[in-house]
Structure formats: structure tokens, C-alpha cells
Chain A
Amino acid sequence: MQDEKHPEDCKQVFALLSEYLDQDLAPESCEELRKHLEHCAPCIEFLDSLKRSVRLCHDCGLSETPPPLTPAEKAELLAAYRRWQKRS
């Protein structure tokens, strides 16, 4: 965030937000970030928007369904599995 008081802090936090959301940060970095968030409303607001966006991405991404498997396609796959069974 382009914070006049803490420009570098906000930029560093900005770079780590995904790892923070994924609980992938080292404990010390996580603690520092949490402390920053305690007093930085813009960073909290941005984090919230990122969290909502990630959730939407997850919910929306699984909406396309393939057409039904044709009998010919199924037969081809089953034959491949049977061949593997015979070999093993």
C-alpha cells in the first residue's frame, strides 16, 4: 500500500499477503505481518478483498462441465485399463 507513514512496511506486507492467507509464512514473518495489520486499515481492507477474490475464484472455477462420455470413448478407456491389467 502506498502508506505515507509506513510505505516500505506496507509494500513488504503487500508482497506477502498470499503466503499469509495460505498460512505459508515463517512464524516470525507471520507475527510481523499480524502486528502491521493491527494498525494499518488500508492493508486490512486490501487483504479482505484478496481473500474474497480467492474464494470467488475457487467457487467460480469449477462451473464448466464436459459433455457426457460417449460409449466409444468409454470403451477406449476401459480397453486401455484392461490392457494395463493384463500386463501387470
Chain B
Amino acid sequence: MLSETRLAIPDRAEEVELARALLEGDAGAFDRFVDVFRSKIFQYSYLMCGHREDAEEVAQDTLMKVFENFDQLREPERVRPWVFRIAKNACLMKRRKSVFAPVQELSIDDFLPHSRDDGAARKLEIADWSALPDDQVLRAEVKAVVRRAIGELPEIYRAVILLRDIEELTTEEAAQVLDVSQEVIKTRLHRARLAVREKLDEYLKSVQARVN
């Protein structure tokens, strides 16, 4: 039986331990497994689908498929990418936009920052990132800016940044979940990060303009 001690933040080792326990028939791991993965699937699917109700349904549908097909999880070490692969497919079923919507590509050149020569040195025309707001209200604003920036990314980029930077899947695992090569994951991740950075940069410039 697993310990009753519950960690606030699940980590890989705990997830693997829970999956292994359930595979061995230890139902004592059930509640914690559901807690951990339901929360993760909800986060991912809320940002992928854009609707809270859809995210709730995706979380339940995904966990149903997880338990119905538990024997397909051959290696407990891979439980996180395995669950996310099921969640990704559940999200596709819930997609409200037309499946025929064209895939939107981001170009890396669009994110090259402008610079100006101020005589002695070249300066980038970007915000002062060393002065990120400490104020609680502004921190909440930053959070909202980040979430909006992620939400506005084209779907193929959004999926990658969620899996890599939020859910901390490796490049190899994200490639497996999304059925693309590792090179594609790296390219999309970089463009997604640049797009989010740019939105934050615009926000920080506006805050700094307000203060000055």
C-alpha cells in the first residue's frame, strides 16, 4: 500500500509509483492518481479547448479511457506522456473550431527584435525585463497576459508549449504525444516561446510607460 502522505506538488517519481501501484492492483493509489492527473489534464485541455466545460469533460473522458485501457501502459515510467496522448485525442474530439481551419504557421523572422544605435552601442528596443512587477495586482496581470498569450497561439504551437514548458515533458515525449518528429517539437517550441515573450514584452513596455 502507498503511504497516506500526500505531496502538494506531484513529481514524476510519484506519478510512476502511483501508476505502478494501480497496475499491480493496489486500489489505494486510485484517489491520488485521479487527483494528480485530473488536474494536469484539466490545465492542458482548458488551454487547448478554450472552454472550462470542455476541459472538465475531457478530464473525465481521458481518465475513463486511462482506466479502461490500463493494460496498454506497458511502462509505468511513461505514464505522463501516455495520459497526455489520450488527453490530446480527447481534446481533438471536443474541438469546436472547424477541423478544416488552415494550420497557421509562425515565422521566426517576425520575432527578431528591432534595435537602434545610440552612438556608443547598439540597443535592443525591448522592455526592461529586470524590472518585472512585484506588486500583487501586477503579478496577477502578468499571469493573465501569459495565459492569454498561450491561448492565442495557433493550436500546433500551443500544444507544444503546454507539454514542454508547463507539463515538463521531454522533447522525445512531446514528439510521441503529438505524433511529430523531435525536430518539429524544437522548432515549434522556440516559435511559441518567442511569441509569448513578445506579448509579455509589449505588456512590460506598457507598464513601464505608465510608471514613467
Chain A residues in contact with chain B, CB under 8 A?
Answer: 1-4, 11, 14-15, 17-19, 22, 24, 41-42, 45-46, 48-50, 52-54, 56-58, 60-67, 69, 73-74, 76-78, 80-85, 87-88
Report whether B146 and A56 are in contact in the complex, using a CB–CB cutoff of 8 Å. Answer: yes
Residue-wise, chain B 156-191 has the 8 Å CB interface mask toward A (1 for contact) of 000001100110100100000000000000100110
Name 23 interchain pairs, CB-CB below 8 A, sorted by A: A1-B113, A2-B113, A3-B115, A17-B190, A45-B126, A45-B129, A46-B124, A49-B129, A49-B197, A50-B197, A53-B200, A54-B165, A57-B166, A58-B166, A60-B142, A61-B166, A66-B38, A77-B34, A80-B67, A80-B68, A81-B30, A82-B27, A83-B67
Q: What secondary structure prevails in chain B residues at the interface with A?
A: helix
Report whether B112 and A11 are in contact in the complex, using a CB–CB cutoff of 8 Å. Answer: yes
Report whether A14 and B146 are in contact in the complex, using a CB–CB cutoff of 8 Å. Answer: no
Report whether B122 and A4 are in contact in the complex, using a CB–CB cutoff of 8 Å. Answer: yes
Interface size class of B (residues with CB under 8 A): 35 or more
Report whether B122 and A61 are in contact in the complex, using a CB–CB cutoff of 8 Å. Answer: no
C-alpha gap A67/B39 in the complex (Å): 9
Report whether B67 and A2 are in contact in the complex, using a CB–CB cutoff of 8 Å. Answer: no
- Which of B25, B47, B123 makes the CB contact (< 8 A) with A85? B25
Report whether A18 and B146 are in contact in the complex, using a CB–CB cutoff of 8 Å. Answer: no
